[in-house]
Amino acid sequence: MKTKIGVLVMSYGTPESLEQVEAYYTHIRRGRAPSAEQLQELTDRYKAIVGGVFPLRENTDRQVKNVQEALGRNNPDPNVEFVCYQGLKHAAPFIEDGVEAMARDGIQRGIGVVLAPHYSVMSVGSYIKRAEEKAQELGIQMDFVESYHLHPLLIKALTNRVTAKLDLFEEAGADRASVRVLFSAHSLPERILEMGDPYVDQLMETSKAIAEQAGVGSWQFTWQSAGRTAEPWLGPDILDTLHVLHEEQVEYVLSAPIGFVSDHLEVLYDLDIEAQAVARELDMRLQRTDSLNSDPLYMETLSDVVISRWKKG
């Protein structure tokens, strides 16, 4: 009998239908229902991305399945078996549901990993806190992968994405060196800076590593998708950055949203619709790197960080 090691693969979560948007939004707002206007605005954004589908759900399902396969291939110990469970932050199956499913299967030892490479106490930290609390309640010993933002295979996968789009710019007649690469990630409230949070530094480190490997000289980091709340969020936002680049007479821009690993609203709407509209208005050529989704290098990254965390005990 092999000992089962539960692997809780955690992701943001998305509604399953337009009817579920309100409950989802209420969950994101920690139980406060959105106003009718806010709800309409979010529903419209979902409708605008390929007619109201929710690609994050299918992408997460596929990622979990492929991580399971990678763990099967790479398992170094014939006496154990890694079994993946899904746990979502804002939709079912919730993080707590995933831990409960492990307990039902008699699992006593688990490893948690989030489908987001960079750690912030407000992002990955809150996934871990919820999983940890449930695991303690159910008597499961769990350890967590906090970040993997410089894993060589992740950097390779992201570098390949950047290089592929720079090749396209070149094929279309642009001088490669004239393309400004804009790395981006989800903004967070500015107060994380006073907490000594590693989020910003980790994102800069990932950007620098990709730029070095891809031989990109002209790059900068910018934020995106800031929340609609009164407090200040980290900036500059990508829409403002595009205006500044226009003033600098930059014509070719490659957006590389390295803080995200899937196609979803924040990429398909905020970049492909909103930022693209600004670029068009400014007569700039904006391209975006393809999302990692189930890129085999990303799946190997996840399998490697899970196995390494398990070996550490």
> Contact residues for ligand FEC (CB under 6 A)?
12, 14, 25, 28-29, 42, 54, 56, 116, 122-123, 186, 188, 227-229, 259, 264-266
C-beta of 63 vs 252, nearer to ligand FEC: 63
- Under a CB-based contact definition with an 8 Å cutoff, are residues 159 and 150 in contact? no
C-beta of 83 vs 87, nearer to ligand FEC: 87
Dihedral sign for Cα atoms in the order 72, 73, 74, 76: positive
Inter-axis angle of helices 199-214 and 152-171, nearest 10: 50
Work out how close the CB of 99 gets to ligand FEC at its nearest, in angstroms, rounded to a whole number.
18
C-beta of 20 vs 218, nearer to ligand FEC: 20
Work out how close the CB of 11 gets to ligand FEC at its nearest, in angstroms, rounded to a whole number.
7
Burial of 228 (0-12, 13-18, 19+ CB in 10 A): exposed
- Under a CB-based contact definition with an 8 Å cutoff, are residues 256 and 162 in contact? yes
C-beta of 79 vs 229, nearer to ligand FEC: 229
Strand order in the sheet with 109-114: 80-88, 3-11, 109-114, 141-144
Q: Could you tell me how many residues make up the chain?
A: 313
Work out how close the CB of 180 gets to ligand FEC at its nearest, in angstroms, rounded to a whole number.
23
Residue corresponding to tokens 């894993």: 151
C-beta of 94 vs 252, nearer to ligand FEC: 94
Work out how close the CB of 235 gets to ligand FEC at its nearest, in angstroms, rounded to a whole number.
14
Work out how close the CB of 25 gets to ligand FEC at its nearest, in angstroms, rounded to a whole number.
6
C-beta of 122 vs 138, nearer to ligand FEC: 122
Residue corresponding to tokens 């500044």: 244
Q: State how far the Cα of 67 lies from the Cα of 65, in Å rounded to an integer.
A: 6
The four Cα atoms 214, 215, 218, 220 give a dihedral, to 10 degrees, of 40
Work out how close the CB of 249 gets to ligand FEC at its nearest, in angstroms, rounded to a whole number.
32
